[in-house]
Amino acid sequence: MAVNGTPLAPPALPTLPAHPDPGTDAVLDSGFLHELAHAFGGPFHFLLPERFDANLAAFRAALRDAGVDGRVYYAKKANKAAAWIERCAAAGAGVDVASLGELREALAHGVRGENLVVTGPAKHDELLRIAVLQGSLTAVDSLGELDRLVALAREAPARPARLLLRRLPPQQPHSRFGMDGPELEEALARCVRAGDAVRTEGFGFHLSGYAVQPRADLAGHLLGLCRRARALGLPADRISIGGGFAVDYAAARHWHAFLAAQRPEHYHARKAFPADGFYPYHSPVAGADALRAVLAAVPEGGRDDLGTRLRRTGTLLLLEPGRALLDRAGASVFRVQGVKDRDGYAVVTVDGTSLSLSEQWFGSEFLPDPVLVTPSGRARGPGVHPACVGGATCLEPDLLTWRKIPFPARPSPGDLLVYPNTAGYQMDSNESPFHDLPLPPKVVLDIAEGRPRWRLDRRPAR
Ligand SMILES: *Cc1c(COP(=O)(O)O)cnc(C)c1O
């Protein structure tokens, strides 16, 4: 029972601290977040574009170290901020877009059309048409889409439609994306008939999950498809292995201890979360290291590792990481608006909603512990003040955290709760101005001459 902030014999509650991150910690300790909360008068997200640059560089280094010629396309759906696209443009990296809106954003922030890959099923004609005009690479999902692309390419002035054919993963036969073996054979015949209206550059896939070996296996299979396409006179000199490079949010020992301990009584309203429904917040192999592992794996039925086979065949490797490029590149900040006591824990209400923490909308929970930041710095100490975190809406299920977090101090109005590492699919995938609440702004932070500097992600139009 917590009475006026004095916890009495609190039960041990499971925690899941995020990996310590010096970049994020420097921001938490700078006092700057309270200034920003004051300026915006509501929740906000902060972005650390230097971290994005470092993640991109790590992927490129993995390619270089394996002697593999490759290109990284940032999968834009993972976060809507302009900052990442600006970094891609500056670094000459590509962007994976799946809608006309995403394509416009990428072009408007300086990414060249030829550095875009257009994915997604049954793409709108307008999207296909602009992809052709921009010299972008289209990942073709079906025979019907291929026919539409060829027709559009015939009308387009002087450009072949650059395309990849997307493979339905044989290991995921219920996927709604891509083409199976016979469909691909038919697609190749149609590509040959289309002549110079199209340029069949290769094959691609995107697998759900994070397993290494299935990616290497399917990449090996695509190399065989490239050989087959080249025998038909098509260029087919590249493959795309999509995204799905895990992010490692927390240490192994914390993650396993958490899974073993968590029970319904650790959550508000005794909400039950099955342990297998959580995102794998710990991954032994993650980010660019997962790419290294894929390149070092031997595709089934062969003897050489994937990297060797790519090198030997002169095949270009395309990849489309989303989440992994955003690892530790942003966090979400909410202000405590009210605190009320329940039986043995507090219900904290913050000034935003769980729409800014997308995991909450998949019958799951974003588990890395939010950090309590008081006006005098991060709360520390041996105290245990359990609290769940609700949003400022009239929806009963609008909780940012159902779990009773054992905070080291009792949260008070004016304190901040910082959810770490939210840039990948959390902060804005689901955001909507529900209740006419404004969307939290995004603040781009960098450190200049030892001091944090900020600007809005989207500069006001001039
Ligand atoms: C979502 C998606 C990605 C990115 O996946 P991550 O898990 O964020 O790396 C890449 N390619 C395609 C086709 C996608 O749909």
CATH number at residue 392: 2.40.37.10
Residues 449, 307 share a domain = no
Residue 135 confidence (pLDDT) above 90: yes
CATH number at residue 317: 3.20.20.10
Same domain? For 318 and 367 the reply is no
Average pLDDT on 219-245 reads: 98
Q: Does one domain contain both 322 and 333?
A: no
Q: Is the pLDDT of residue 253 over 60?
A: yes
In a domain, 211, yes or no: yes
Task: Give dist(CA 370, CA 14) in Å, integer.
Answer: 13
Domain membership of residue 426 (yes or no) is yes
- CA–centroid distance, 324 to ligand 1, in Å, is 10
Q: Do residues 108 and 227 share a domain?
A: yes
244 lines ligand 1 (CB under 6 A): yes
Count CB neighbours of 23 within 10 A: 15
187-202 pLDDT, tens digit per residue, is 999 999 999 999 999 9
Residue 278 lies in a domain: no
Contacts of 64 (CB under 8 A, 6+ apart): none
Is residue 289 pLDDT above 50, yes or no?
Answer: yes
Question: Is there a domain that residue 218 lies in?
Answer: yes
33 and 177, same domain (yes or no): no
Query: CA-to-CA distance for 82 and 409, rounded, in angstroms?
Result: 36
pLDDT at 10 over 60: no
Number of domains in the chain: 2
CA-based diameter of the chain, in Å?
77
Written as one string, the DSSP assignment of 82-131 is HHHHHHHHHHT-EEEE-SHHHHHHHHHTT--GGGEEE-SSS--HHHHHHH
Which among 310, 326, 342 is the end of a domain?
326
DSSP state of 307: H
Q: Do 342 and 240 have their domain in common?
A: no
Q: Which residues, including other chains, have CB under 8 Å from residue 203's CB and lie 6 or more apart?
A: 164, 165, 166, 167, 184, 222, 225, 226, 229, 236, 239, 240
pLDDT at residue 6 tops 80: no
Judged by average pLDDT, the poorest of 3-7, 156-160, 301-305, 367-371 is: 3-7
- Ligand 1 atom with minimal separation from the 240 CA: 11
Task: State in Å: Cα 246 to ligand 1 middle.
Answer: 11
In a domain, 80, yes or no: yes
Task: Determine, yes or no, domain membership for 263.
Answer: no
Give yes or no: residues 351 and 428 share one domain: yes
Model confidence at 429: pLDDT above 80: yes
Last residue of a domain, one of 306, 326, 346: 326
**What is the model's pLDDT at position 451?**
78
The per-residue pLDDT for range 321-333, each reduced to its tens digit, is: 999 999 999 999 9
pLDDT of res. 344: 94
Confidence of residue 462 (pLDDT cuts 50, 70, 90): low
What pLDDT is attached to residue 130? 96
Both 428 and 411 in a single domain? yes
- For ligand 1, whether the C-beta of 206 sits within 6 Å is yes
Shared-domain flag, residues 92 and 205: yes
> Is residue 369 predicted with pLDDT exceeding 80?
yes
Does some domain include residue 142?
yes
What's the pLDDT band for 452 if we cut at 50, 70, 90? confident
Average pLDDT of the chain?
Answer: 95
Of the candidates 301, 280, 285, 138, the one whose C-alpha atom is nearest the C-alpha of residue 218 is 301
Domain boundary among 304, 326, 348: 326
| Sequence-ordered list of residues with C-beta below 8 angstroms from that of 431, at least 6 positions apart, any chain | 355, 356, 439, 440
Share of the chain above pLDDT 90, in %: 91
Task: Pick from 77, 239, 359, 425 the residue to mutate for probing ligand 1's pocket: most ligand atoms within 8 Å of its CB.
Answer: 77
Does the residue 255 lie in any domain?
no
Examine the domain organization and report whether 287 and 393 are in the same domain.
Answer: no
Residues 96 and 196 in one domain: yes
Same-domain check for residues 309 and 373: no
- Read off the pLDDT of each residue in 15-21 and give the average, rounded to a whole number: 97
242 C-beta closer than 6 A to ligand 1: yes
290 vs 24, 213, 374, CA distance in Å?
A: 23, 10, 37
Ligand 1 centre distance from Cα of residue 168 (Å):
15
Show the domain range for 167: 50-248+283-326
What mean pLDDT do residues 297-316 have?
98
Query: Per-residue pLDDT tens for 31-84?
Result: 999 999 999 999 999 999 999 999 999 999 999 999 999 999 999 999 999 999
